[in-house]
Structure 1
């Protein structure tokens, strides 16, 4: 089991079959994966995966403006609206987030 890993709550995307790729959006074609699934095997072909890193620790350490922790949610919300131009031979997965509010930045990066 992966430490600090949380599978995605799929409310970011509007799921549903989209046969017409000219009108498809990312939120309609993106697939979900649980990295803790023991039956997970390597995929063939062109595949990409998104993973969120929910942490303000690096920003805080460098005296920056916090808000990076909200980045994965904001990116998913906007990405879901974009038109899909990658065709049928490309698969994109959202695998969830690395999140550990009580863990150090180094521990979170190791989990990633």
Structure 2
């Protein structure tokens, strides 16, 4: 299983999925052990163009980035409805208020995060 966490750096969770500079992607085996990790860049969308759907990149680029990495789950703080809609049928979504990547990962591995979909 691969889990993606929007991040500002290797330790800090980004507060908004679509505007995150990159994702930390962790590969987890059947024993809930981390067997690999990597940092994957994002092409964040910004401003009103994204929100109104005129111009900006919209959720497609970010969603495609994650799908091309084979992600099975995404843990996020905030995510726009368009991105939720685009991902909900293809990956598991989990919402958190934690700001530390390691803490989010620990909560996920312990089964303490509620699935959104």
TM-score bin (small chain):
under 0.3
- Report the TM-score when normalising by structure 1: 0.26
Which structure dedicates a bigger proportion of its chain to strand? 2
Q: Based on CA coordinates, which of the two structures has the bigger radius of gyration?
A: 1
Structure scoring higher RCO (CA < 8 A, sep ≥ 6) equals 1
